Chains A and B, each alone.
Chain A
Amino acid sequence: MQSCVRWFRSAKQDTGLGLIAGLGLLLYIVFIVAPIFMSLNSSFTDENPLESQSHFVGLANYRSMLHDTELHSTIVFTLALALGVTIMANVIGVLFAVLLNRTQLHYRVLRTLAFLPQVISGVITGFVWKTIFTEDGILNTLLTHLGVIHTPIQWLGTPHLAQLSVGIVVTWVLSGFTTVVYLAALQSIPGELYDASSIDGAGTFQQFRMITLRMVAPATTISVTISLITVLKLYDIITVLTSGGPAFSTESTAQYIVKVAFTNDQFGYASAIAIALLLMSAVIALTVTGLLRRREVDL
């Protein structure tokens, strides 16, 4: 009897909070969980916004993905970009963090500046870098003034240079983030490790390799995973900088999905690619996190 009353009272005590918490979960289910299953469902149909009826087409959308050369090139580019940018941004992040890891005022000011690219929206980033890379842009003007080049370089006009340019811009954005994450990790390394190793006669490079790189392993896991996920869903920077051109050379899979859905009106096919991208992201993120976690444990 006593416990029954207590149960009733605690249930009543919990109702208000439970309602708010439940509302949060409900919204998440309606707008994230349900849409994933709706996309999965659409991926088996020929859904098209211009037609009222859609038909079940089985695996036809997935089969056409096998022969879609534009899709293949977006996947290759997206994966190459994800790999290249993640490596570059994390190498730059570690080195930059080591360089800035001091407490004096100058270094604190520099640290503040280092995170700045993260704060600016992808659209602004895209436009600013476009004025730098475009044919009569700032980079070519400067290089001409310095006498390095005589004819402007087509940074955004030739496929390989455009891909490189996109890589540079995305690396720039992510390096600010990785630097701050690695700085936080560096500050948690006990200084005794360095003192002890220098007494043992370890040099700078040895200390970096044996202490710094190992002690920031948990930060590496976070930083690498977030870099990868960010590039895999990248949309705004590329859209502004190159709109996927020239000749689709810088088109990411995320952009291709939006194009197939809203320009070609093939909702069913777009959903199939979206599901493929989701699987690809999940597999990559889980594999990489698993591998890097194991490296943390090995210490």
Chain B
Amino acid sequence: MIARHDAPPAVRPLSLSSEAPGRIRRRVRRAATGARRHPIRLTLAVLITALFVSPIYLTVVNAFKSEGAIESSPAAPPLHPTLSNLSTAINRPDQLLQLGLRNSVITVVCSVLLLIPLGSAFSFYISRKRTKPRAVILAVLSAGLMVPPQVVLLPTIRILTLLGLDHTYPGLILANISGGYFSFAVFVYVGFMRAIPDEVVEAARIDGAGSLRIWWTIIMPLVRPATATVTIFLSLWIWNDFLNPLFILGPLQGQTITTGIYLSVGQLQMNYGQLFGIMFLAGLIPVIGYLTLQKQFIAGLTAGSTK
């Protein structure tokens, strides 16, 4: 049976237990001690998870092994750990990782810092409008989540060229803050802002606060979980973005971490040790970010999927 509760379930009505007392008591006891009585379940869960994360495990262990050790036993833990792969990755003459990290951080921070106020102000504005125009606007915005980036890529580059911003960071950031990311921010914020009672806004209005002030000093602190969700997911997506930086920035403006890895690792033959070293270091920041913020990550996904 699927034992649902780790705590003993509530006592059942007597009339039921009179039908089959032994069976029910057995079930209750089994549910209460489910974990200890089912080591198979835990073993199975551990084995499947291990298989599932094995590519990540391989990256981590092989980043610390010599080329010979990788080739002879790729799955073994590093028995003679070496830091040479990591130091080769860091000391590359093209400074792939350092420049990539710098450029990615600039892009992510600027994009998210602009998306948060734009998205939340827009959401606050429309969440107080009548339902019909709001539904229309949200429908138009939902298209932003669905449109494949390849569809808007060429025109976006043409518009940026018109503005003199093609192949620049401001151009890339502008493309980031206005695409599907904006839609995502609005959807999350509107979900949270609808839950705020109108009286809160009314009271502030009577006290003489303008909309701008209400939004910034009253609404924003109330929707902090939404801001956390938006910040986390947008940072991750913009950090991992590939198509936009590849074609909007172009090769001359330096690379973000993703395009940098793609262009330099893809072009020359590289031994496995170096490759794993680079992948390990490049993946470190998002993974550490996820592990420290995992509660908010999961909470964000949960909120998003139940709305």
Binding site for B on A (CB under 8 A): 12-14, 16-18, 20-21, 23-25, 27-28, 30-36, 38-39, 42, 96, 98-100, 102-104, 106-107, 110-117, 119-125, 127-129, 131-132, 138, 141-142, 145, 172, 175-177, 180-181, 184-185, 188, 191, 194-195, 198-199, 203-204, 207-208, 212, 218-219, 222-223, 229, 232-233, 235-236, 239-240, 254, 257-258, 261-262, 267, 270-271, 274-275, 277-278, 281-282, 285
A240 to B265, CA, bound (A): 10
A281 to B148, CA, bound (A): 8
Bound together, the chains give a CA A180 to CA B299 distance in angstroms of 10
- Structural contact, B261 and A124, CB atoms closer than 8 A: yes
The reply on B99 being an interface residue by CB < 8 A is no
- Cross-chain contact A28 with B182 (CB below 8 angstroms): yes
Which residues of chain A are within 8 angstroms of B24 by Cβ–Cβ distance? 199
Q: Which 8 A-B pairs have the closest CB atoms?
A: A35-B155, A16-B212, A121-B240, A27-B178, A31-B178, A21-B125, A233-B148, A38-B155
Residues of B within 8 A of A112 (CB): 291, 294
Interface contact A115-B298, CB-CB below 8 Å: yes
How many inter-chain contacts with C-beta < 8 Å in the A-B complex?
Answer: 281
In the complex, chain B residues whose CB is within 8 Å of the CB of A188: 306
Would you list which residues of chain B between 217 and 260 have a CB under 8 Å from chain A?
Answer: 236, 239-240, 242-243, 247, 257-259
A239 to B155: give the CA distance in the assembly, Å.
22
Q: By the criterion CB–CB under 8 Å, are B148 and A278 in contact?
A: yes
Contacting residue for B282 out of A42, A124, A175, CB 8 A: A124
Q: Which of A25, A180, A223, A258 has the most CB of B within 10 A?
A: A25
Q: Identify the closest chain A residue to B287 (Cβ).
A: A119
Dominant SS among interface residues on chain B: helix
Q: Tell whether B297 is near chain A: CB-to-CB under 8 Å.
A: yes
Name the CB-closest residue of A to B54.
Answer: A132
Cα A23 to Cα B120 in complex, Å, equals 12
Between A24, A195, A219, A277, the greatest number of chain B beta carbons within 10 A of the residue's beta carbon is seen for A24
The answer to whether A113 touches B52, judged by C-beta atoms less than 8 angstroms apart, is yes
B77 to chain A, nearest CB (A): 14
B286 interface hit (Cβ, 8 Å):
yes
Residue from A16, A20, A35, A110 within 8 A of B151 (CB atoms): A35
| Contact residue among A31, A184, A204, A285 (Cβ-Cβ distance under 8 Å from B2) | A204
Contact B1 A128 (CB under 8 A): no
| Contact sample, A vs B, 7 pairs, CB 8 Å cutoff | A21-B121, A24-B182, A98-B2, A121-B283, A142-B74, A229-B145, A236-B258
Contact B178 A110 (CB under 8 A): no
For chain B, the count of residues having a C-beta within 8 Å of the partner chain is 101
Which residues on the A side are within 8 Å of B175 (C-beta)? 31
> Contacts A14-B211, A131-B275; is A32 near B146 (CB within 8 Å)?
no
Digit string of B131-169 for contact with A (CB within 8 Å is 1, else 0)?
Answer: 000000100110111111111111110110000000000
**Chain A binder among B39-47, B86-94, B191-199:** B39-47
Query: In whole angstroms, what is the CA distance A237 to B184 when docked?
Result: 23
Residue of B nearest to A107 (CB): B45
**Contact in complex: A20, B121 (CB < 8 Å):** yes
- Chain A neighbourhood of B272, CB < 8 A: 131
Assembly CA distance A106 to B266 (angstroms): 39
Query: Separation in Å of the A137 CB from the closest CB of chain B?
Result: 8
